[in-house]
Structure 1
Amino acid sequence: MKTTTEELLAFVAVIDSGSITAAAETLQQTVSGVSRALSRLEHKLDATLVRRTTRRLQLTDEGELFLVRARAILAAMEDAEESIARQRQRPAGRLRVDAASPFMLHCVVPYVRAFSLAYPEITLELSSNERVVDLMEQRVDIAIRIGALQDSTLHARALGSSRLRILASPAYLAEHGEPRTVAELRRHRLIGFTAPESLNDWPVSPDSIGDRDASAFVRIVPAMSASSGETVRQLVLGGNGIACLATFMTRSDVEGGRLRTVMDAALLDVRQPISAVFYQSASMAGRARAFLDFLAARLMV
């Protein structure tokens, strides 16, 4: 007997969700129905794909091999269905997008209305996390990540890059003066991040103004710190000190005169890459492509 799509979906859902119960919820089926589909698949293949214990599910060697093929088959089916759907209708369905709160607030939210007008059949679900999320665990279709990518199992699309700048409010600078050297900078109230520590390495030459050694950074000691870039931005806007932030979240503040850049002569040209990451199935979805094309065309970084 040949394997059915229902059985493939059940198998992949069980692995992705971590349990038969969670897979049943994802597929909107009964637990017994998913369990039977998985058992039928193993019977047809004459192989045990998943070892079941009271605490967890574990793929066998045969299961790992078959999972790769099952994902490819389901992705190809989804792509074929999307191709036909695009010929007769606009992209539709739910699209879950995750990004750190600064990027979400400054680079996604401003364009949501325009996107919804262009693609009214797509339902956006937006979430914000300061940490790197597990796409499967959080049921996220697309995650926007700032900085170098680490997870090689994900597909990625580059959206651009954003330069780091050192900034303060005009009110703060009027009261405390403007630093022009690293020594002067260290005497100011500096606002940094609680984690990771690398965010407190500022791209400014430690030796002298105008030194453009791209390997040189200055580790600052924050007078105050926060976990969110948006919180740091608000602290700087409130005149609490000087911070190093990306231009994607501060460009309008500088253009509007609410913030000023400092130490420009000693600043290194360091840019953080901005990428969208997703699993193969998301890359095949018309709604995901529509969203990324729309965002990339409007992103001011």
Structure 2
Amino acid sequence: MKTRSEELQVFVTVIDCGSISAAAEQLAQTPSALSRTLSRLESRLGVTLLNRTTRRMELTEEGRFFLERARLILAQMHDLEEHLALHRQQPAGRLRVNAAAPFMLHAIVPWIGEFRRAYPGIELELNTDDLIIDLLEQRTDVAIRIGELADSSLHARSLGCSPLLALASPDYLARHGTPTTVEALEGHCLLGFSQPESLNHWPLRHAEGDRWRIRPQVLASSGETLRQLALAGEGIACLSHFMTHHDIRAGRLQVLLAEANSGYRQPIHAVYYRNTQLALRIQCFLDFIQHKLAAYAC
């Protein structure tokens, strides 16, 4: 009997998810059904692909060989479907997008309804991570990264850039006063990032340069957490315009020390592995988001 594409997908998903139960949840099937599929696949091939126990599973040598080729076959099938869709000018297929939570919430989620109406054939999977992920390991088509890019094998497309602004709520300023110089920030509660530490170098000009290194009284790993703290009047934060422009417009946050701002803009890039022509579904998504970013990027 011939191996079926559904069996290849089950096998690859089990490996990527790390367990049959996790793969079953992703594929909306039962663990027992996936276990039977794997056994049927191994029976057809006449080899053992996975050594499985109740606690762990490990690829055999034949399994590693088969996994590499299964990925290639599934990718080729996906490309074929996309080329057919391109012929019809209807991008289709699943698109897995990863971004930091603030960017996802403020620059992608508000436009998803419009995007889906424009491209009903694209199935979106939106994931958030505040740390840099491995695209292959997380089965991600495209990731949005904010800030300077490190050298890597990834291909990148610039989507624009966004100013960094020192901000505080009117309530905080009413209670603690408004700093009129960069040096005056030392007398305030400053909200900073636990990582990367470079985000605690605010783009503010002073006597010794155009970056002011703060000593945060409150640290957080996510810009969205810092935004919520600033809105609650807990201190002063330096955040990107793409996530705060509505707050500034509504008066919930106030820009501070605008005359001292060095004008630095955070670069925004989409990164992906493909080194040939971008898949149509990815191209459509990036074109769409780049257009929307123009409203609050430079």
Give me the TM-score of the superposition, normalised by structure 2: 0.74
Aligned ranges for residues 149-298 of structure 1 at < 5 Å?
Answer: 157-170=157-170, 172-173=172-173, 176-182=177-183, 184-205=184-205, 208=207, 211-212=209-210, 216-222=211-217, 224-255=218-249, 257-277=251-271, 286-298=280-292
Aligned residue-pair number: 288
Alignment root-mean-square deviation, CA = 3.8
Equivalent-residue separation in structure 2 for 1:14 and 1:284 (angstroms)? 27
Q: 2:41 aligns with which of 37, 40, 44?
A: 37
**Separation of aligned partners in 2, 1:68 and 1:241:** 51
Q: Alpha-carbon deviation of 1:261?
A: 2.9
Alignment-mate amino acid for residue 177 of structure 1: T
Comparing 108-117 and 48-57, the one that deviates more: 48-57
- In the aligned structure 2, how far is the partner of 1:153 from the partner of 1:39? 38
* Overall identity of the aligned pairs, in %: 53
Q: Note closer, same or farther for the CA distance 1:26–1:188 as it changes in structure 2 (3 Å cut).
A: closer
Task: Look up the equivalent residue of 2:88 and give its one-letter code.
Answer: R
* Whole-Å separation in 2 of the counterparts to 1:22 and 1:240: 40
Query: 1:141-197 CA deviation, whole Å, 9 max, x = no partner?
Result: 544333355795766544333232212345544661333132x11112222235554
Q: For 2:167, what is the secondary structure of its paired residue?
A: strand
Code of the aligned partner of 1:219: I
CA contact (8 A) 2:190 2:237 kept: yes
CA distance in 1, matches of 2:52, 2:16: 15
Report the secondary structure of 1:109's partner residue.
helix
- Runs of 4+ in structure 1 over 6 Å off: 134-139
Question: d(CA) in 2 for partners of 1:71 and 1:56?
Answer: 22
The more displaced of 270-279 and 247-256 is 270-279
Taking the aligned partners of 2:99 and 2:110, their CA distance within structure 1 comes to: 14
Which AA in structure 1 matches 2:203?
P
Change (3 A) 1:287 1:164: same
Gaps of 5+ in 1: none
Distance change in 2, residues 1:42/1:163 (3 Å): farther
The answer to which of 131-140 and 196-205 deviates more is 131-140
Q: Letter of the aligned partner of 2:162 in structure 1?
A: S
SS in 2 for 1:80: helix
Shift, 1:131, TM fit? 4.8
Native 8 Å contact 1:20 1:35 kept in 2: no
8 Å CA contact 1:10, 1:37 repeated in 2:
no
1:162–1:39 CA distance, 2 compared to 1 (3 A): farther
1:169–1:259 CA contact under 8 A, matched in 2: yes
Q: Which residue of 1 aligns with 2:144?
A: 144
Question: How much does 1:263 deviate?
Answer: 3.3
